[in-house]
């Protein structure tokens, strides 16, 4: 009797682990995305790649007009200040639609400097991409 209970318990535990951990067996479907989401995601990724490589020229071309004003130039300079002898990286998470033609992407920016190669504080923030006109998608909010 005890053996049978143990077998049933083990069977139940193993089956629940296998079924819950296997994405092919889960019943949730991935969310669908539209063309606008994909374009906004590509623009966000292009901007973040420019940030990672300190390509301020490419990044400036992706900014909405109100971010190109001289007031924002200091913010852009500080955002693109290269880490002294270090590395930069980023993570971009699934975005969400704020309004038609406006998407927000949660991102985390990482910078490791030569002064502190092992410890660094990631910076979680967001990046907003908007459909500016017919073919232009631009960054509307800097991280």
Instruction: Express each pLDDT in 70-120 by its tens digit.
Output: 656 667 777 777 666 678 889 999 999 999 999 999 999 988 777 765 667
pTM: 0.72
Instruction: Express each pLDDT in 54-75 by its tens digit.
Output: 888 898 889 888 777 765 666 7
Q: Is 85 left (phi over 0), alpha (psi -120 to 50) or beta?
A: left
User: What residue ranges define each of the domains in the chain, with the CATH number in brackets?
Assistant: 33-141 (3.10.450.50)
Identify the pLDDT of residue 141: 87
DSSP summary character for residue 89: E
Q: Comparing 122 with 29, which gets the higher pLDDT? A: 122
Question: Is residue 6 predicted with pLDDT exceeding 50?
Answer: no
Question: Is residue 30 predicted with pLDDT exceeding 90?
Answer: no
DSSP assignment of 15-27: HHHHHHH-TTT--
Burial class (CB in 10 A: 0-12, 13-18, 19+), 56: middle
Question: Is residue 135 predicted with pLDDT exceeding 60?
Answer: yes
* Mean pLDDT, all residues of the chain: 78
């Amino acid at each position: 009797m005890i053996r049978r209970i143990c077998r049933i318990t083990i069977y139940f535990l193993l089956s629940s682990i296998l079924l819950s951990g296997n994405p092919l067996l889960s019943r949730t479907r991935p969310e669908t995305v539209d063309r606008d989401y994909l374009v906004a995601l590509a623009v966000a990724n292009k901007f973040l790649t420019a940030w990672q490589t300190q390509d301020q020229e490419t990044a400036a071309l992706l900014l909405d007009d109100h971010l190109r004003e001289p007031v924002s130039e200091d913010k852009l300079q500080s955002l693109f200040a290269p880490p002294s002898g270090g590395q930069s990286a980023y993570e971009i998470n699934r975005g969400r639609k704020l309004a038609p033609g406006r998407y927000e992407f949660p991102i985390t920016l990482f910078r490791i400097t030569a002064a502190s190669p092992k410890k660094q504080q990631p910076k979680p923030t967001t990046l907003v991409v908007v459909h500016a006109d017919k073919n232009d998608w631009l960054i509307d909010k800097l991280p």
